[in-house]
Amino acid sequence: MRFHISTTSRLPIYQQLAQQIREAIARGELLPEACLPSVRQMSQDLVVNPNTVARAYTELEREGLLVSRPGRGIYVAQPRNDLTPAARDRRLIEKMNPWLTEAVHLGYAADEVLRLVAERVREFQWQNEKVA
Amino acid sequence: MRFHISTTSRLPIYQQLAQQIREAIARGELLPEACLPSVRQMSQDLVVNPNTVARAYTELEREGLLVSRPGRGIYVAQPRNDLTPAARDRRLIEKMNPWLTEAVHLGYAADEVLRLVAERVREFQWQNEKVA
Amino acid sequence: MRFHISTTSRLPIYQQLAQQIREAIARGELLPEACLPSVRQMSQDLVVNPNTVARAYTELEREGLLVSRPGRGIYVAQPRNDLTPAARDRRLIEKMNPWLTEAVHLGYAADEVLRLVAERVREFQWQNEKVA
Amino acid sequence: MRFHISTTSRLPIYQQLAQQIREAIARGELLPEACLPSVRQMSQDLVVNPNTVARAYTELEREGLLVSRPGRGIYVAQPRNDLTPAARDRRLIEKMNPWLTEAVHLGYAADEVLRLVAERVREFQWQNEKVA
DNA sequence: GTGGTCTAGACCACA
DNA sequence: GTGGTCTAGACCACC
């Protein structure tokens, strides 16, 4: 797994890293129980402050995506299944509003949005099976 | 139209307000040429500093969602359509990506995501026509 | 790069500064990825409130001329190219019209105006290539 | 001569009116010594506050485009010729900077700008003869 | 009355 | 150190 940060992006560095790790996990490139590079190692690779890497890891741990085992390293967590289907839906729908709103403002027609989502979903090499 | 802000949210107040206005416009609850509450009025309603409200309004004006008419008030503008198709897609995808990642983590299958979006799109009173 | 503000001008301070930065960028004196003075530094140089400088920077960031990187500084971005040709023309004509009117009032003939513009264009270190 | 104001524009009403009068004069639709509608008449036609019309007239009088003859009305002034060629050029060039800067940011190539200016000049039905 | 600008000074997030 | 947010309160332009 190689990550890289863009010093020209306006996004905070720790968030760039966090989002890349999230997507790597989502894509299945980082499997559960995989071990991530140490804070020190990663900070050297990316040429950033160790604090910045630590912050990204902390954020992901708080989200339940990573688990740190003190003295041994930081690992990809098992996928959580503690949400009821209704709670899952609620959570996802809630976060849909801002970008759907953006779509309206950008002048997208309804079917264009659906087309774009479908396209992106394909590119994501979606691996989840339908659970219901 | 009623708005409300959460002081416990990590999102800045002016952005909370801006996003609520964006959604109200996207939903068609605030139609073009509708007049918004004055800065002073809104700041009283929300119990925040008038500057904070002004900032939200200014932000939305820069985005082309509102137009301010000094001495008269601030009004809802027409949706923008001055971006190239590629730039439009780029913007939307950027905002959609983190959400898709989230969907994967929640265990959603591809067709479930599409179903959810389609459903939500229907709930919006989508007024845009396909431009192309 | 030296900037200066006129307290006697009717133009707001933050706009005076913004316009000077715009012109410096347009002339090629400030190249992409160049770092601008910090808000605090600039506010000392100009003897104005830091908020006023921040406002100029924010305005230019919204226009896509600058990118701010929290904790790191504020930098010159690449010129925007996300507008449709029609929207581009509309914007430019809108700003050009009052100037053309002025030229007529000053008694300029059509070819004199063209000559004057051509001259000035040459003085700019025009870096854009024709896109179409 | 018919004028009209857009209540949907963000430009102050008195400036909309002033600019329309300027352009009408520039185009030769309003000739020197032509008499403009009274403040009261104009304010009724446009359905705006008389103060607003008065302000537009005052602005144009200050610029030397109109002369008011108390008790008789307000008239288009004779074109001024009191500037030396150098002063004329200086004045016009000074006001060229902002929109030329905009052109750079919008990504225009040098010859595109010249083309656009030439086009607009033609549409203006330019009536001035070369003076030099 | 409306919005727009400016100042002073505080606190937070990021590196 | 950097930029980002928020407040309080002043003054101006526009209608």
Smallest CA–CA distance, residue C86 to chain A, in Å, is 16
- The tens digit of pLDDT for each residue in D62-92 reads 888 999 998 888 999 987 777 788 888 988 9
Residue C41: HSE in the Cβ half-sphere, 13 Å Cα cutoff: 9
Pairing of strands A73-76, C73-76: unpaired
Instruction: List strand residue ranges (DSSP E) for B1-132, in order.
Output: 66-69, 73-76
**Phi, psi at B94, each rounded to 5°:** -60, -40
Q: Are D7 and B73 in contact (CB under 8 A)?
A: no
Question: Rounded distance, CA D45 to CA C86, Å?
Answer: 33
Which positions in strand F are less than 7 Å from the protein's CB atoms?
1-9, 13-15
**Phi, psi at A83, each rounded to 5°:** -100, 140
Neighbours of D112 (CB within 10 A): 20
- The distance (Å) linking the CA of B68 with the C1' of E5 is 15
Q: Which residues of A touch B112 (CB under 8 A)?
A: 130, 132
Cβ contacts of residue A100 below 8 Å, gap of 6+?
A113, B26, B117, B120, B121, B124
Q: Which two tokens stand for residue B101?
A: 């990642």
**Each residue's pLDDT expressed in tens, for chain D with a length of 132 residues:** 789 888 878 889 999 999 999 988 888 889 999 999 999 999 999 999 999 999 999 999 988 899 999 888 899 998 777 778 888 898 898 889 889 999 988 889 889 999 999 998 888 767 666 654
User: Which residues of chain B carry a pLDDT beneath 70?
Assistant: 125, 127-132
For C80, which DSSP code?
P
Query: What local confidence, expressed as pLDDT, does residue D67 receive?
Result: 92
Q: Which residues of D38-61 are buried (b: 16+ CB within 10 A; e: fewer)?
A: ebeebbeebebeeebbbbbbbbbe
Domains of chain A: 13-76 (1.10.10.10), 85-121 (no CATH)
Question: Rounded distance, CA A60 to CA A89, Å?
Answer: 21
Alpha helix segments (H runs only) across B75-109? 85-105
Question: Rounded distance, CA B82 to CA D2, Å?
Answer: 31
- The tens digit of pLDDT for each residue in A88-111 reads 898 898 889 899 999 988 889 889
Work out if C12's Cβ lies within 7 angstroms of strand E. Answer: yes
In B56-85, the residues whose Cβ lies within 8 Å of chain A are: 63, 65, 79-81, 83
Site of tokens 């985005």: B63
- The tens digit of pLDDT for each residue in C26-83 reads 888 898 889 999 999 999 999 999 999 999 999 999 888 999 988 889 999 877 778 8
**CA nearest neighbour of A104 among C6, B33, B29, B126:** B126
Question: Rounded distance, CA A10 to CA C64, Å?
Answer: 11
Classified as helix, coil or strand, C59 is: helix
Question: Rounded distance, CA A28 to CA A18, Å?
Answer: 16
